[in-house]
Amino acid sequence: MGNINKRFKIIEKIKSFVIKEKNYDKAKESDDITKEIASKIQISSYNLVKAIDKDNSYTPPYKLIAEQLSVDDALIFKSAAYHLVKIATRHKKYKNDISKILSEKQKEFNKTDDKFLYLEELLKNI
């Protein structure tokens, strides 16, 4: 007899879950939003995201490296200059821009300065 009562309790518990789920669906159906309105909202939000101006500008990596030439630390300066020369030797389309950047930077130093001499040596390799 106890086994039957146990089964009924389980069945009642399952029924309570089912009833709760049915009530949950009814609450959803009673909302004011329809499929058409939801679709319009979705489409308008998608169009809004597409319409936002995106930054399509491209900065070549060598220009970011060239900014490091302004640093006072000699090691960073030499590393940036070295990598710029490597880029110039591998990518011919950047060669003129990089050599122009390095020669302009070289004019900022005295002829006896280590940075000047280092840039002079690197410019010979381009």
Domain membership flag for residue 105: yes
Tens of pLDDT along the chain (126 residues) come to 556 666 667 777 777 766 655 555 554 555 577 888 888 888 888 877 777 766 667 788 889 999 999 988 889 999 999 999 999 999 999 999 999 999 999 998 888 888 888 999 988 888
Domain membership flag for residue 56: no
pLDDT score recorded for residue 80: 94
Asked whether residue 43 falls in the same domain as residue 71, the answer is no
pLDDT score recorded for residue 2: 57
Asked whether residue 68 falls in the same domain as residue 119, the answer is yes
Q: Which domain does 89 fall in, by range?
A: 61-125
C-alpha span between 16 and 21 (Å, rounded): 9
Q: Which candidate, 104, 111, 33, 113, places its Cα nearest to that of 69? A: 104
| Coil/strand/helix, residue 53 | coil
Asked whether residue 42 falls in the same domain as residue 69, the answer is no
Domain membership flag for residue 79: yes
Asked whether residue 46 falls in the same domain as residue 100, the answer is no
Asked whether residue 40 falls in the same domain as residue 69, the answer is no
